[in-house]
Structure 1
Amino acid sequence: MSSDPMPPYDRRTASRILAELARPGLFDTARPGLLDTARATAAAPIAYTATAMRTEPNSHLTLSQRLYLERYMRPCRPDQVTGATHRITWTDSDGIPNTGHVRAGGLGPIVPIAMRETVLALWHSLAEDGALHHRIAGLGDGDRAVLEGSTTDADPIDIFRVGIEATGRALAQHALLSGSTPYRTPAEFACGLRDSGIFAAVATRWYWELQASTYRRGMIPVAFDVQPDRTVRYSAETVATLRAMKDATIADAHAVMHRATTTEGLSVAAAIEKYHDELDLISRQYALLAPGSRPACLAAMPHQVDGGHYTLLPVVVDRFVEVFTAITATLSVAGTPAGTDSGSGELTVDDHLFYVPDMNCKHCVRTITGVLESMRITVGDIDLISKRVVADFRSPRNRHRAFEALRDSGYNPTVLAPVGPRGPGLLPGAAVRTRLPETTR
C-alpha cells in the first residue's frame, strides 16, 4: 500500500491553468509561418499501403471491433457502428510509421494522412513557442500538483499535444461517415464538422477511452442527420447511446472505487494503485467524480482570462481546420502493395524493434507494456514520441503472436522503420505517384 498522498483532483482548476497558459491563443504568433511550413511539407508525395479489414463471417465488424463493443460499449448495438473497410499504413514527414482507417466510397487516404501532417505541424509550433514554455516554467508547485492529480498526461505540453491529436482523431474517425454528409472534399468536410459543432460534441458527449479505442479499431458508433443549412448533427439515437455508454463507464469506475474503499478499506490513493489497470482502462477521472456529477473536457470549459471569455477547444479546432485545409490543397498520396509477416524464419537483432503508430498517450504505453508482459515478453524500451518499442521476443512465432495480441487490443504494430525524408522508397513495392482526386466517392 502506498503512503504517498494523492495529488489534488480538480478538473475545473486544471482547465483554468491550461487556459491561462494558452491565452491569448496557441499558435497565434506562429500562424503565418505555420501555414507556409505546412504547405511546403505537403508538397512531397506520401506513399501508403492499404489492407482490407477482415470482418467476421456474416458480420460487418472485425473480431477486435466486436470484442470491444461487447465488453466496453454497452448498450451500443452492432448496427449502430460503422466500420472501416481498409487499414492504411504510411510514414509521415517526421519519419514515423502511422496507421489509419478509411472506408470505400469515402474521402480516401488523404484524410488520415493529412490529419497526421496537421498534428505534426501544430506539435512543432508548440515546441517552438518560447513564450508558452516560459509560462509553463513559471507554474507553481500547487498548479503542477493539480495537473498531476487531474489529468493523465500531467505535463502541459503533453496535454496540449494529446488534445491536438484527439482533434485529428475526431476528424479522421468521422470521415468514415462522410458518405452520409453533403461534404465532397476533405477541406469541405473539415470545415463542415467545425461549423456543425461536431468537435465540441466529441469533447462533451464522448469519453476518452471510447474515442481512442474505437479510433484504433477503425469503428465509430455515430449517425448523422443533415440539417437544412447543410450542417450535420448527431441523430437523437446517437446522443442517447453516447450518454448511456458514458453513464455505464462512470458507474463501472464508481463500483471499482466503492469496492476498494469500503469492502477492502483502502484509501483512495491505495485503491488507485491496486486497481491501476482497471481504473486506467475506464478512466481514473470517473472513479474520482463526486456522485451525481458528470465529467467535463478540460478544453471545453469556459473561463474568464485577462478580463475576457476564453475557451481552449475552439482555438485548437479553428487552427487545426485551417492548417488541414492548407495541407490538403497540395498534398498528394499514392498506394503501394502491402507486405506480409508470417512469423517464420530466424530472429535478428532488428526483429526486436517495432513501432506502434497508434500509440498516442501514456495510457497506450501502459496498455502495450501490459499486453507484452502478460505474454512474458520483456519490454526493453518504449518511446511515445517515436512510437518505438524494443521487446525481447523469444522467436519469430512469439513475435507474430504478440503482434496479434496487440491488434486484438486495438493497436497496429508494424516493423516498418523510420528512414528519413519520405518518398517512393519508404514502403515495399513500386508505386506510380499520382495525385489522388479530392474525393473517391
Structure 2
Amino acid sequence: MTVYQLPVEVSAFAHLLRDMVARLRPGEGWYGVFAGRDPEGLRSCFDGTEILPWDVVESLLQDLGEVGAGPGTARARALHAAAAAAHDRLPGGEEALRERLALMEEERRYAESRSRDLDARLRADPVCADAPLLSGDLAWAQDDHARATARIAELTGRLTRLTAGADGGRGPAWAAAGPPVRTDPEPPPAEPPAPSARKGAAVKRRPRGARYAWTDETEEAQEALPVPELPMAGAAPRGARFGGAEAPPERAPRAVPPEVAEGAARAAGNAVYALRRLRSQGRGGEAHALLCEAAAGPPAWLPALAAELHRAGLGADWATLLWEAASLPPGRLAAVAGALADAGRGQDCDQLLRQGVARPVDELAGACAALRAEGHHREAHALLAAFVRVRPPEDAARLASADPHALVPQLLEAARAVSPARERGLVHALRVAGLAGG
C-alpha cells in the first residue's frame, strides 16, 4: 500500500513505539526475539508504514513490566486503535487487510498442524534424546498458533469496522449464532491464559511462524529515538464541566417498540450462547470477531446484549465490545452512543465516548454533529469534555473550526472546567486559528 503522508494517528502511535523500545534492551525479552527475527518489519512500524500487531505491542509492554490493564496498556491500546483505523482508511487499506487475514489463516493452520505433529512425537517417545528440543519447538508452535488466532481476530475486527458503513439494516450473523438460552445458573468458562515469554534456549532459536507478520530477515537493527510523553486518556470530568453548571442530566430510558425489543432479546440470547460455546472450546479469536460484528450491528440491539452479557458474567466481553465500537465510523459511533443513552445506560455511553476521543478530529466533529442532531446534547457535551482533557489545544481549535458558532463556546466551557491553564491554551489556539478575538 503506497503512502505519501502519514495520518497524525499513525505518527502518534509510531512515536509511542519508539519511546517504548528506547527503554528496552534489544537483545533481551520479547523485544530481543522480534528485533532478531525481523528488524525490517519493526522499522516499518517505527516509521509508520505498517501497524504493529497488538499481540506484539502487548509483549513489548510485558518487557517493560506493564501487566494487565494498567495505564500504559490503556494508553497504548487507545493509540493503537486510532492508528489502525486511520491506516486502514488509506487507499488500498481493505485489500491489504484481506491479504494479511488470508496469510494469518494459513499461519494458524500451519501452527496447528505442527503442534499436533510435535505433540505426537513427544508422546510416542517422551525420553528420547531430542525431547528437550522437541518440547521447545512445541512451545513455539503453540505460541505461533495463539498469536495467529489473536491476529485473525484483530484483522477481522478492523475489516468489519472499515466495511461497516451503512450496512446495518440486515440482521448480523451474531444474532443467529445459536439457540437463545438463559445464562444465569453457571459462570462462563475462563479464557485460556495468554502465552508468556519463554526463556532460555527456546527464545534463542528464533523460530518461524505467526509470531510476527513479516517475512524479511536482515541483520540490521532499528535505532530507536526517545520522544516526549503523549497525553493519556482519563475519566470525563463531572460537576462544573460546563462553566460552573452541572452537566445535562442523563435522559430517562425511552420506550422501545415491542418488535425491536423482541428481536434484541433474541439476538442477545443467541450471542451469549455462542460466546460461551466459543470460550469453552478455547476459540478466543472467533469470540472476539463475534463481538466486533455485534459492535457494527444494529445499535438498538446493543443495550439488550449488554444486559445479557452482564447477567452471564461476561462483563469483560461487553467492555471489549465498547472498545471496538469506539473505532466505528462517526455516524455509527453516535448511533451506538445514542442507543445506550436512550436505554438508560449513561455510564456505558460515557465510557464509549471517552474511548473515542483518540480518533481523527474531523470524525469527532461528525460524531458531535450527529449526536446533537438526534437530541443527545448531554452526550455531545461529554464527548467534548473528554476531548479537551486529553487532546492538545491545537486539536481542539481544529475541531472548533468545523462549527465555530456551536463548538467554540462549548469547548471553552469544557476547558475552563479542566484548569485555567487549559482554558488559556485553548484561547490562544483559537486566536491563532482565527476563531476568537484578540
TM-score (norm: length of structure 1): 0.29
TM-score (norm: length of structure 2): 0.29
Q: Higher relative contact order at CA 8 Å, sep ≥6: structure 1 or structure 2? A: 1
Structure having the higher strand fraction is 1
